[in-house]
Amino acid sequence: MDINNLFLEAEENLQVEFKKIDKIENFYSEKVMNAFYNNNVQEACFNSTTGYGYSDLGRDTLEKIYAEIFSAEDAIVRSQFISGSHALNVTFFALLRPGDELLSVSGLPYDTLHEVIGIKENPSSLKSFGIKYSQIDLVNDDFNYDEIRNYLTNNKIKVIEIQRSKGYSTRKSITIDKVEKVAKLIKEVSPETIIMVDNCYCEFVETKNPIEVGCDVIVGSLIKNLGGGIAPNGAYVAGRHDLIELVGERLSLPGEGREVGPTLGINKSLYQGLYFAPSVVASSLKTAILTAYVLEKLNYKVSPKYNEVRADIVQNIEFGNKEDLIKYVEGIQASSPVDAHVTPIPWDMPGYDDQVIMAAGCFTQGSSIELSCDGPIRPPFIAYQQGSLTYNYGKISIRKAVEKLIK
């Protein structure tokens, strides 16, 4: 197959989809700009604090901006969150108490949460503190509304967790219209239940977010969408004010909560990352759509397809065999700006039951908004690709990975 013609054909046929993404980018660019203006961002916001971090103008202003963007009462945005998984862990422990029950209505959570919850035994898990866990699986990539209604009618649930992105699974990621429908049901049957959404990979992909459709709290990482490839680490939690206060006290300590937390010179990067995020997310989506089109033409199964509605920036490519998965991931690494000379190999990655192969030649370690591609070495041998700081860099990398694959 002529690779030149394949990519020319793809770009010609994807213009309608690209224009849809451009509209969403424009929507969020205006939203971010207005939030910066409304909250009086100034050069003093880029100053650094040390020690306890009292009275950090930049930190406090940024949290107001996040709250405005998500139509939330409050937000906490901190570099003290190591990752999105850490922010989820802190939020679980902030909201749940011994004897409470956590219910996942989106099936089995992401691998790194198994020991947090106690699905996999760990002496520091929620389970070890007497917090119960149950789950209701999705049915045909949608919520099991009848079972959710029945379970809430007969059980007292403190927190419901929804993971929008697919993780290392074959299901589809969950669009905002489905989140809205299930949130309405939950609040109708059990209005006191807290709806907590793992929003990682989903920010700025659709023009609504979970807070706007009835959820109580959302969690996400800054080395994914909202960091714009500039934030070096961190995560955010946004939602109801009382819940954000609890998260702050769990992150630091009761009585001090969000008043402490030095920024150590990171503020400017967090502001710039958010400022660039609409454009970077748009580039990631265009790269994912191009990948879906090209790999489907090469007879691989992809999800979502190039013209499907997307909930996140993740693109699945099902290779069906270990060899093709490894070759493709090697191709992505070989076309990365950092460590392109390194050959990725499957390894026993902490928090995962299967060996994982990962291409991540990124400026920030583990950054998933930069072009990366990874997958567990298990059938049906799916590569989970996400990110790209610009569309053109993404296109170059995908082309090189495809050339390696077909050779």
For residue 329, count other CB atoms closer than 10 A to its CB.
Answer: 31
For 399: left if phi > 0, alpha if psi spans -120 to 50, otherwise beta; the answer is: alpha
For residue 235, count other CB atoms closer than 10 A to its CB.
Answer: 29
Pick the CATH number of 3-26+275-406 from 3.40.50.300, 2.160.10.10, 3.90.1150.60, 3.30.930.10: 3.90.1150.60
pLDDT value at position 88?
98
Give residue 318's identity as a one-letter amino acid code.
E
pLDDT value at position 259?
97
Beta strand 372-376 with 194-198 is unpaired
pTM of the entire structure? 0.96
Beta strand 372-376 with 356-359 is antiparallel
In 3D space, the residue among 209, 265, 295, 231 whose CA is nearest the CA of residue 83 turns out to be 231
Q: What distance in Å separates the CA atoms of residue 35 and residue 49, rounded to the nearest whole number?
A: 23
pLDDT value at position 32?
98
pLDDT value at position 169?
84
For 225: left if phi > 0, alpha if psi spans -120 to 50, otherwise beta; the answer is: alpha
* Buried b or exposed e, range 261-290, using 16+ CB within 10 angstroms: bbbeebbbbbbbbbbbbbbbbbbbbbbbbb
Q: What distance in Å separates the CA atoms of residue 8 and residue 202, rounded to the nearest whole number?
A: 29
Residues near 166 by beta carbon (within 8 Å), at least 6 away in sequence: 172, 173, 312, 314, 316, 384
Instruction: For domain 47-273, give the fold.
Output: Aspartate Aminotransferase; domain 2 (3.40.640)
Residues of the chain with pLDDT under 70: 1
What is the gyration radius of the CA atoms in the chain, in angstroms? Answer: 21
- Omega cis (within 30) before 232: no
pLDDT value at position 354?
86
Q: In this predicted model, what pLDDT tens digit does every residue of 334-389 receive, in sequence order?
A: 999 999 999 999 988 777 778 999 998 999 998 999 999 999 999 999 999 999 99
pLDDT value at position 99?
98
pLDDT value at position 353?
79
Maximum Cα–Cα distance for the chain, whole Å?
65
pLDDT value at position 168?
82
Q: In this predicted model, what pLDDT tens digit does every residue of 64-88 receive, in sequence order?
A: 999 999 999 999 999 999 999 999 9
Structure token pair of residue 156:
């007292």
For residue 252, count other CB atoms closer than 10 A to its CB.
Answer: 18
Domain segments of the chain: what residues?
3-26+275-406, 47-273
Q: What distance in Å separates the CA atoms of residue 209 and residue 191, rounded to the nearest whole number?
A: 20
Q: In this structure, is the dihedral angle defined by the CA atoms of residues 358, 361, 362 and 363, taken in order, positive or negative?
A: positive
Beta strand 372-376 with 101-104 is unpaired
pLDDT value at position 14?
98
Where do we find the tokens 């994807």?
Answer: 14
Structure token pair of residue 27:
């929507």
Give residue 198's identity as a one-letter amino acid code.
D
Q: In this structure, is the dihedral angle defined by the CA atoms of residues 71, 167, 228 and 310, taken in order, positive or negative?
A: negative
